[in-house]
Amino acid sequence: MKKTRNLESYVEWFNRLSYLTASEIVKYPKKKQRVRIIEYWIETARECFNIGNFNSLMAIIAGLNLAPISRLKKTWSKVQSAKFSVLEHQMDPTSNFNSYRSTLKAAMWRSEGATEERERIIIPFFSLFVKDLYFLNEGCSNRLPNNHINFEKCSQLAKQVMEFNEWKKVTCPFEQMPNVIAYLQTSSVLNENTLSMASFECEPPENTEEKGRYKTVKAETKQQLLHQLQEQQHQHQP
């Protein structure tokens, strides 16, 4: 458990930021407000890209692409989304994330020749980084057909881990803002069903599939509330 806790923390943070992005959007009943919040998150994602924080960039993109957000067609029709399209292209998963890998290489070149700490920052898309290590380790034999040690595999693994360790050593040059940190860590985040319900309240279901989804989510939410009430009553019984 201890060995994987740091990995789990990365995954938890990624998921939290994705759902926080989505939760903040559906909080607002007015379309104009939702448009403003979506554009704010797009600008935040763009700044993540500019400083080399690819993990948070991908988390925000994932949040904006969650079904309860992507279905808000009336809202998205008013969004200046050209910048978002560029960011999506940079993190496009097709061809084994080829665009992202090219961007990461460029960021590494920039980091190696940088004179300022800001330009040295690289925070990779962590899930893909771990996936690459896993497949390199599992997909390549430790021994060659002649039974010699596969030094190429060892070299590739060592290279990627050493690069990651170098990225970790970079001192963050930005001033910490306690109010922003508190917001990111403690703001309430909606779960999948609650997020869907809030989305349908923002823009009602339009087709048969959405109407079916709305009916299912509404029933599940009602059941969850009933279960919570029963538990509370049970706890207060003498």
Is 90 a member of any domain? Answer: yes
Higher pLDDT, 236 or 136: 136
The answer to the question of residue 215 being in a domain is no
Query: Model confidence at 4, in pLDDT bands (50, 70, 90)?
Result: low
Q: What is the pLDDT of residue 202?
A: 97
Question: Is the residue at 230 inside a domain?
Answer: no
In a domain, 226, yes or no: no
Q: Global pTM?
A: 0.87
Nearest to 174 by CA among 125, 119, 124: 119
Contact 64, 34 (CB under 8 A): no
Tokens of 59: 């988390």
The tally of domains found in the chain comes to 1
Rounded-to-integer distance, Cα 72 and Cα 63, Å: 13
Q: What is the per-residue pLDDT across 52-89, written as a single tens digit (0 to 9) for each?
A: 999 999 999 999 999 999 999 999 999 999 999 999 99
CATH number where 157 lies: 1.10.840.10
Instruction: Examine residue 49 and state whether it is found in any structural domain, yes or no.
Output: yes
- Residue 192 makes CB contacts below 8 A (sequence gap 6+) with none
Query: What gap in Å lies between CA 90 and CA 99, rounded to an integer?
Result: 5
Which amino acid would we find at residue 174?
A: F
> Which range among 121-135, 142-156, 170-184 shows the weakest confidence by mean pLDDT?
142-156
Whether the pLDDT of residue 2 is over 80: the answer is: no
Range of the domain at 141: 2-204
Q: pLDDT band at 179, cuts 50/70/90? A: very high
Mean pLDDT, residues 200-211: 95
DSSP reduced 3-state for 149: strand
Question: Model confidence over 101-119: pLDDT tens digits?
Answer: 999 999 999 998 888 888 8
235 in any annotated domain: no
Q: Would the pLDDT of 226 be above 80?
A: no
The answer to whether residue 237 is domain-embedded is no
- Is the predicted pLDDT of residue 201 greater than 70, yes or no? yes
109 within a domain of the structure (yes/no): yes
List residues bridging with 149 in a β-sheet: 143
